[in-house]
Structure 1
Amino acid sequence: MVGEPWTMLVIRELLYGNRAIIDIAAGVPGMSTGLLVKRLKKLEADGVVVLHRREAELTDAGRELAEIIESLGSWGARRLPPPRHGDLDPGLLLRDIARQVDRSVLPARTVSIHFRFTESPGPRWWWLMLSRTLATPTIHDPRVPQAMRIDCTLGALAHVWLGRVDWLDALRDKSIIVTGPRTAVRQAITWLGSSRFSSDKTLSAGE
């Protein structure tokens, strides 16, 4: 039922709260909209999702798959090699960071972090808009107060996010450079942190 190509990734996006088909598609690049709709209809027939025009929602049976998705993420963090340069995509990385941010530590009013990647297969300038009700990346300057600027390679940010390199070590060796007010470095570490599937968290929990 869930073993067909793309299906688990579609379920992952639904578990993250993405209901609109356009938002689900953004989290699964390379999957055509037609195939996405086909998979959603199959999942609906199997009782895993309910379709509402251009949106989809998990049923109770679908939400029960969360434990499986989490287990696969933890397994991957422990067992899979680091991503290769060609595997990295700035939009996907920042999207993953945005949806795992702890919004309770963010400011009430929206601010942005300006990311300037020194190398990237896509746009090199990105903004991450953050507030207690919002966390989303964009390639367009959102024209909101900028909390800091982060200059780095895409690989450096990915390694910190995956817990393979500590934030402080990356800052010391200048593979990540944070520019802004005195509190910027502390805010960057607190706001962005690392993935819940990061190596350190996963190993401490499972080994």
Structure 2
Amino acid sequence: MSPRRSYDQFCSAARALDAVGDRWTLLIVRELLAGPRRYTDLHADLPGVSTDMLASRLKDMERDGLTARRRLPPPGAAHVYELTPRGRELLPVLRALGEWGQDGLGERRPTDALRAHWFALPLLRALEEAGVEAGVVEVGLDEGDFHLYMGAEQGPLYGYGPAPEEPDARLALDSSTCTAVSRAELGLAEAVRDGRVEVTGDGAAAKALRENGT
């Protein structure tokens, strides 16, 4: 575990940055918003981080009360990392950072990695703006599928792959449309109306999207 570094300033923003200002910390939080994850899964979805750096950051985050490590019962029998309630309180920080960073997203560079679920937080905002308050929404992109838990106060906000049960709505769209929605250049209801997002399903979420897209 690395020694705690501090700005040594009596300021709440400085104290917060003491805990989450290091490189990779907030991106680890982003990944753990999907629920408990194994170390190998975290490493796979954080391209560019070294194994030593990831291990160090996870230890620091556990020390600072942001994450906890536990062992799954058999047959899993693997250690997983998960956010504590304190760590989950960083959700609005990540959402605000994402919205602030929209203008700097620009075009995808050849060196940019991409995982489908990295669109989860921007799409949560877009779905809320489109009138979806609750339910499971499955999203299909060329890069893969993921699902969102709208209105979730506890537990994961999103998950990897198709929804484990029949979703309330399924969205099919390409990454360029998803990027435009994430940048707030295109509203989700507008994208549905223009045929850039295909909505299927019979749940309240699907009905809300179709009604607001007309």
State the distance in 2 between where 1:33 and 1:159 align: 33
Displacement of 1:57 in angstroms is 5.5
**How far off its partner does 1:71 sit?**
5.7
Flag structure 2 segments of 5+ consecutive residues without an equivalent.
6-19, 71-79
Alignment RMSD (CA, Å): 4.7
Equivalent residue, structure 2, for 1:39: 57
Deviation at 1:93, TM superposition (A): 1.7
CA distance in 2, matches of 1:162, 1:97: 10
Gaps of 5+ in 1: 191-207
Partner of 1:80: 104
Matched, 1:158 2:179: yes
1:113 corresponds in structure 2 to 138
Q: 1:141 to 1:13 in 2, by over 3 A?
A: closer
- Residue 24 of structure 2 corresponds to which residue in structure 1? 6
3-state DSSP of counterpart to 2:168: strand
Distance in 1 between residues matched to 2:127 and 2:91, nearest whole Å? 18
**Is 1:90 matched with 2:140?**
no
Partner AA of 2:27 in structure 1: L
Percent identity at matched positions? 22
Question: Structure 1 173/69 Cα, relative in aligned 2: closer, same or farther at 3 Å?
Answer: closer
What letter corresponds to residue 177 of structure 1 in structure 2?
E
Q: Structure 1's 75 and 35: CA in aligned 2 closer, same or farther, altered over 3 A?
A: same
Q: Map Cα deviations across residues 131-172 of structure 1 (whole Å, 9 max, x no partner).
A: 765653332463x33434422212212322331112233223
Distance change >3 Å, CA 163–CA 94, structure 1 → 2 = same
Length-normalised TM-score, structure 2: 0.53
Q: Residues 57 and 100 from structure 1, CA distance in 2 versus in 1: closer, same or farther, beyond 3 angstroms? A: farther
Measure how far apart 1:180 and its partner are. 4.1
Task: Work out the CA distance in 2 between the residues paired with 1:85 and 1:72.
Answer: 20
TM-score by length of 1: 0.54
Verify the 8 A CA contact 2:137 2:205 in the aligned structure 1.
no
Distance change (3 Å), C-alpha of 1:21 and 1:95: farther
| 2:23 partner SS | coil
Change in CA separation of 1:89 and 1:3 when aligned onto 2, cut-off 3 Å = same
* Rounded Cα–Cα distance in structure 1 between residues aligned with 2:209 and 2:139: 11
